[in-house]
Every structure is written in C-alpha cells, then in structure tokens.
Structure 1
Amino acid sequence: MWSIGELAGRAGVTVKTVRFYSDRGLLPEAGRSAGGHRRYGPEALDRLRLIRSLRTLDLPVPDVGRVLEEQDVLEDVIAGQLRELGSQLAALRWRDAALRLVRDCAPEERPERLRLVGAVTAPPSTDALARFWRRWLPPRLPARVVETVLDRTVPQPPEDPEPGQVLAFARMHAFVTVPCEGGDRAQPAAHRSGEGLRPAVLYEGLDEAYALAGPELRAGRVPRDGEALDCFVAAYARSGGTRDTPAFRRGLRGVLASDPRIDRYWQLAAEVFGPDHTTAGAAHDWLLGALDAQVTGSAA
C-alpha cells in the first residue's frame, strides 16, 4: 500500500494532482491508514498513468471518467474530440485568411472589410443563406426538394479559404440579411402563379436541367439547343400542367426575362464555390440564353 506521496512520486506527478483525480472519483483509494490518510494499491499507478495519457490528449475529465468505466467508449470519445478539433482548426484558418484580407488592403478599404468580416462567425455559419433561400422558394415545398435546392445554392465555407473567398462570403452574408424590396413582387413569376402550379415538379426538373447545362458551361459552349434546354422547358411545362410547344416557349421566354434577378448573389457564390463549380445561377443564365436564341431563331 502506498501513501499519496509515494504514488505521486512513482507516477512523476504532484500530490495535488493525485488528490484532484481522487476527489473526482477517477482514482479510487484502496483504503485509509490508522491516521486517516489515503492509501493506494499498485493498480492505481497504471490507472493514474492512463488518466494522464488521456488528459494529454486534452480529453475533458468527464470523458476520461467514461473511458475508465467503459473502455469501449474510447473510440467515440476520440471521434468527438477530432470533430471539435476540426472545427477549431477551421476557425483558425478562417481567421488567418480574414486577417490577411484586412492587412493587405488599402487603408480606405479597411473599415468596410472589418465591418463585413466582423458580421460573420469563424468559421462562418450558412444559416443566413439558407433562410434567404427558404424565403425565396415557393411555400410548402417538400423537405427533400428544399434540401436539394439548398445543396445547389448555399456554398459551404472552404476548409482552407483564400482572403478573397472570405470577403465574398462576408458580402454574401450582408446581401442576404438586407430585407428584400418589393415583397411578393421580388419572387419569380412561377412562385406567384395561381392554382395548378406544382412547384416541386418545377424544382426537381430545374435541378436536372442545371446538371445537364453544367458540362456545356465548363466546355465553354455558347447557349444552344439540346437536352439541357429541353429539360429546362419541360420542367416549367410539367409544373403548369401544359404541353411544351413553340408557343409555350415564346411565352416562357417573356415570363423568365421579366423575373427579378439576384446576379450579385451568384457572382459572390461563384467566388466561394471556386472555379471548378458551376453555380445554379450560371446554369440558369445559360439556359435562358439557349431559350432566347432558339425563340429568336424561330421567329426569324
């Protein structure tokens, strides 16, 4: 049986450390001396060394207790710590890029940049962007359709951002947090249609059309007829319960041309997504160009 001082000496720690873990139930005593002093058996040394190893990995004391009681939870505890560490590293990388953004700009630009980056957390949350799109979309869309749209429209902050991406994301955040002028008039016409419109059908079809337009854009092709345009028009026709005809395409061209635009959002989103990503806004514009070229060519 060892005294608390003997155990501390063998483990290379202070008496205060042994007492701390004993008081929290992590290091049970084997007994007490006649004078009431703590006594520990040899197994306490291995347990104390394990505690120190876990604490060296920065595991919180409650998690250390869980591991000591049930060894098979160690993997879950480590996974949780890795997630937390990943979040901390992402925050540090974001702060690094934000600091370089402010450091490397002209003095007259610093007040605005400080205001913009100061309005977002590190790493930033995409909640404000998601709320913007939930307001923009037609009401009562199925959850699966909303999630598909959000995946296409809300860029996730880069893991290792460049200063320009920090600025673009901060500007996006500012853009979506300003109240939209015009109320319902700021929504696309298809969102304001009366009875008979099936918005879920529209957005599922648009998602497919955007995916088809992506390779065309990446290849640098000019807007043209083809599968992507047909899919795009069919989405609007099916959602309204009508047929895809030349007259329908002419009417659709006029309706879409008068829709409100959020070009600034898509410009900023392209910077955040990066050069290898085709935004839904760019795909939509390409398809509008293809429709316009087709209708104009047909008229001629």
Structure 2
Amino acid sequence: MPADSAWSIGELAERAGVTVKTVRFYSDRGLLPEEPRSTGGHRRYGPEALDRLRVIRSLRALDLPVPDVGRVLAEEEAAEDVLEDVIARQLRDVGSQLTALRWRQAALQLLQDCAPAERAERLLLVGSVSAPPSTDAPVRFWRRWLPVRMPERVVAAVVDEAVPQLPAEPTPAQVLAFARLHAFTSRSCDGDDRGQPAAHRTGEGYRPAVLYEGLREAYALASPRLRAARTPHEGEALDCFVASYAASRGVRDTPAFRRGLSLTLAADPRIDHYWRLVAELTEPSRPTAGAAHDWLCAALAGQVARRSP
C-alpha cells in the first residue's frame, strides 16, 4: 500500500470506531500490522489492520483475555484449533461464574427468608463456604475417617460415592445443607458421632479393603429396593452385605456370625448427620450409601430376630 494512502492512527481509530488509545494499546502488543512509518516517525496502517482490529474487538467482546487474543491471531495455520480451545476454556469459566452466582443468590435468599433469630447463625455457616462451593472438606473428612493403609483405588472409589455432587442451581435449603455439611466435616474427627467402626480396627483381624469393595456391591444391590421403598428384607443384597464382613475377617458366614455382626453394627459409632445432609443434596432417585447401609443393617437385625429361639 503506498505510504501516502496509508492511514494515520487517528484515521484507523475513526474507521474502526475505537479510540486512538485503543489502537495504540494493541499496536504496542504487536497485534496490529503496521505499514512503514511516515517520514516523521508516525504510525501508518492499511486495510489489514482494520480487519485485524475488528477481529480483536469481536474476541474481546466475548471477554477473552488479551493474551488469548494474541494466541488466536498468532497461530494462523492452527487458528481454528486455538480458537476452539480458548472458547471452550472461556465457557468453563463462565459456567463456574454462573454456578457461583446461583449459589450466592440461593444463600442470600436463605438469609432473607429465615427468622431474624436464625440469621446470625446461618450467616456464619454460609459465610464459611466459598462460591462456587468446594467439596474439599468432605473429601478430607473421608480420607481421615477411612481405615489406614487401604489401596488408593478403594479409597478413591469410596470417596467418590460418599461425597455428593453439588447442584449447579441449588435451593436455599440445599445451600444450608451444604454449609452444615462443610461445618461438620471441617471439625476435628474426635467425638462419639464420628468415631471408628469396629471394622476399622485392623488389629482385630479386619481387612478393610476387602470389606469396602464388598460393601460397594452390597449397597448397589440394595439401592433399587430403597428406590422402590421396599421394607428391609432378606435376599441377595443382605447376603452380599454379610459376606463382605465375613470375607474381611476370613471367617464363614454362619447364623452365629450374623448374630454377632448385627450386635457389632448396632453398637458401632454412626455418622447419620452426615448422611442426612448428603440426602438433602442428592436426587431422591440416588439413595446414599448411608441409607443403603441402614437398610441392610435393619434387614440383618430382622433376620436375626426371626431366627432367634
């Protein structure tokens, strides 16, 4: 393009509908192609710079950071792939921001709708939870609560099933449930409500990894019964449940073992509060592991009672 027909920075800004400061900003970052400068050292631009500036404005209108804009413009041969990657990341960021706003909105609604006497306590609860919330505290809780020296694959599977997936659009009640869950799992593990079941005492001969792998199968078998609101009863789910405990001790499943197991489970420390809160955050069609465990314990107790002389 002849030098005398090139545009000054002001002319380019006018044609693009932006300020001179904006043109200078992108030029300084090497995003706009320049023509040879005038004899006075002033910047000069051609139509290519105008086209580039329009692309930049379109990308920035999507709130893409300037470094990402530069990546898209620099990778001419792979521009489509780079743009797709940048847009996908931006979509994830926007989704996270929307989730955070929905949790914040539900938290504010919770505080607005509660009685004045409850507001201070609830404010402290929801104020300790980030938006969007993190499940790091429940994950740490389970990794502390589970028996030591279990294989990581078993621990990961148990944690994955025990820690709830949080709703993207929570109700105020769910915000309160998660805030309480966060508070509960953030406390010290000391206390009767979070003690260790007998099966965690590896010194007594239990093999927790064998137990938890079997329990996951037993809970899966019991879940359809819970969804159908069936009364706890004997059957495949209960047999799998008892077999898990027997295998973890290396003993046979006998009537005497079932009687002893029922007594042990009835005396074990419980974390019912945890499971009640998780149930409030979970779809009704997905019974919690805690609900499945209670159903199986009730089925075992009923069987033992019926067989007792």
Indicate whether the TM-score tops 0.5: yes
Partner of 1:35: 40
Whole-Å separation in 1 of the counterparts to 2:215 and 2:35 = 70
Query: What are the within-5 Å matches in structure 2 for residues 1-300 of structure 1?
Result: 1-70=6-75, 71=79, 72-182=81-191, 186-194=195-203, 196-300=205-309
Could you give the per-residue CA deviations for residues 257-277 of structure 1, whole angstroms, max 9, x where no partner exists?
A: 111011111111100113222
Whole-Å separation in 2 of the counterparts to 1:117 and 1:182 = 24
Q: In the TM superposition, what is the alpha-carbon distance from 1:89 to its structure 2 partner?
A: 0.1
Q: What code does the residue aligned with 2:69 have?
A: V
Q: What code does the residue aligned with 1:270 have?
A: A
Task: Report the more deviating stretch, 46-55 or 3-12.
Answer: 3-12
Q: Any runs of at least 4 consecutive aligned residues in structure 1 with deviations exceeding 6 A, and if so which?
A: none
Whole-Å separation in 2 of the counterparts to 1:46 and 1:253 = 77
SS at match of 2:56: helix
Whole-Å separation in 1 of the counterparts to 2:189 and 2:18 = 62
Whole-Å separation in 2 of the counterparts to 1:177 and 1:48 = 51
Could you give the per-residue CA deviations for residues 170-205 of structure 1, whole angstroms, max 9, x where no partner exists?
A: 01111112212259x910110013264321111111
Number of matched pairs = 300
Q: Percent of aligned pairs with the same residue?
A: 73
Whole-Å separation in 2 of the counterparts to 1:273 and 1:193 = 32
Q: What code does the residue aligned with 1:28 have?
A: P
Q: What code does the residue aligned with 1:19 have?
A: R
Whole-Å separation in 2 of the counterparts to 1:67 and 1:141 = 47
Task: Report the more deviating stretch, 190-199 or 245-254.
Answer: 190-199
Whole-Å separation in 2 of the counterparts to 1:195 and 1:221 = 35
Q: What code does the residue aligned with 1:41 have?
A: G
Whole-Å separation in 2 of the counterparts to 1:186 and 1:159 = 32
Q: What code does the residue aligned with 2:25 have?
A: F
Q: In the TM superposition, what is the alpha-carbon distance from 1:145 to its structure 2 partner?
A: 1.2
- Structure 1 stretches lacking a partner, 5+ long: none
- Structure 2 stretches lacking a partner, 5+ long: 1-5
Could you give the per-residue CA deviations for residues 52-71 of structure 1, whole angstroms, max 9, x where no partner exists?
A: 10000100000000000111
Whole-Å separation in 2 of the counterparts to 1:230 and 1:33 = 89
Task: Report the more deviating stretch, 199-208 or 84-93.
Answer: 199-208
Task: Report the more deviating stretch, 174-183 or 134-143.
Answer: 174-183
SS at match of 2:285: coil
Check whether the contact 2:145–2:189 (CA below 8 A) recurs between aligned residues: no
Say what the alpha-carbon RMSD is for the aligned residues.
1.5
Whole-Å separation in 1 of the counterparts to 2:307 and 2:138 = 39
Q: In the TM superposition, what is the alpha-carbon distance from 1:121 to its structure 2 partner?
A: 0.4
Whole-Å separation in 1 of the counterparts to 2:111 and 2:210 = 45
Q: In the TM superposition, what is the alpha-carbon distance from 1:100 to its structure 2 partner?
A: 0.4
Whole-Å separation in 2 of the counterparts to 1:66 and 1:75 = 12
Q: In the TM superposition, what is the alpha-carbon distance from 1:84 to its structure 2 partner?
A: 0.5
Check whether the contact 2:137–2:185 (CA below 8 A) recurs between aligned residues: yes
